[in-house]
Each structure stands twice: as C-alpha cells, then as structure tokens.
Amino acid sequence: MTDPTYWTSVSSPLGPLLLTAAPTGALTSLSVPGQKGGRAPLDDWRRDPGPFRAAQEQLQAYFAGDLKEFRLRWHAEGTAFRKRVWAALDDIPFGSTVTYGEIAARIGAPRAAVRAVGGAIGANPLLVVRPCHRVIGAGGALTGYAGGLDRKVRLLTHEGVLPA
C-alpha cells in the first residue's frame, strides 16, 4: 500500500488552489483550475485541511500583501535537472524577475539549455509558492505560465513588477 496523499482546496484571488501533501505534511503540489499539467483529486486521496494550516495562512498573508517569502516544507519529485532549476526559482526575490537564460546560467547550464529550463519551469508542481511566475522571456516578454498568462500578470502586478 502506498502512502496516502492529503489534499485541500484554498480560496485565492487566482481561484481555488488545490494543495496536496505527503503524510509528513510536506507540500507536494499547488495547482490552479485549468492548469497545464495540474492535479485533480483522486479517489484514494484524503481530504484533510490539517496538514495545510501553515500553507493556508501564508497564502492568505501573501495575497493580502503581508508576506513576501514563503517558509513552508515542501517536497517535489523530479529529475536532478528539474530540482536544480526549481531551487533557482526559490532564489528569485519577491517583486523581481529573471529570464530563462539567467536561470540556465545560475544552474551552470549552457545557453542552449534554455528550452530545457523552460520545460522544467513549466513542470513546477508548486505554483505561487515556488515563484515560476517571476521568470520572463528575453526582452521582458511574459511568456509561458502553466497557470495561464492572465494569472502570471495578476501575480506580477500583485508583486509590483507590473503597473496596477
């Protein structure tokens, strides 16, 4: 028997957020409705808001403008390359952006790896809390976001990157 996946739904300005966690309480995903590659509850998952109290409080504080850095335990499955890219996302400060090329450079990948970096960012299972919305295209283009470009714009506007 495999360990159960716990889940809950949290209201947000982006719509209902689906959060999943391992039995340890570590957050394993955060999805938005209609997300490319997003998750949906399975029959054997356990709905329980208990493991998500800290995440819910921090998300509420973030959307209220009172929190700029999440301090949550999370665990995301991925290749070593994806984990390096995701770790680089964690270092992008609130209210700033970097390009896909800058992420490639930060992880020591060649410039030719920009597409692979984009693929890893697109596979980020922890939207909002692992800030993939802060990655933009060369020249400032708002390219790609698994949660939809409208949500990327809303998040960057919330963080003061884009004018309200």
Contacts of 156 by beta carbon, 8 Å cutoff, 6+ apart = 97, 133, 134, 142, 162
Angle, CA of 34, 96 and 33, to the nearest 5°: 10
CA distance to 57, 77, 85, 134, per residue, from 109 (Å): 36, 20, 10, 19
Q: Residue 25: how many CB atoms within 10 A of its CB?
A: 17
Q: Which of 121, 132, 155, 156 is catalytic?
A: 132
132 labelled catalytic? yes
DSSP at 5: P
The residues that bridge with 10 in the sheet, in sequence order, are 17
Residues 132/117, Cβ–Cβ less than 8 Å = no
Greatest Cα pair distance, the chain, in angstroms, is 50
- C-alpha 143, offset from chain centre: 15
- C-alpha 30, offset from chain centre: 7
User: Which residues are designated catalytic?
Assistant: 132
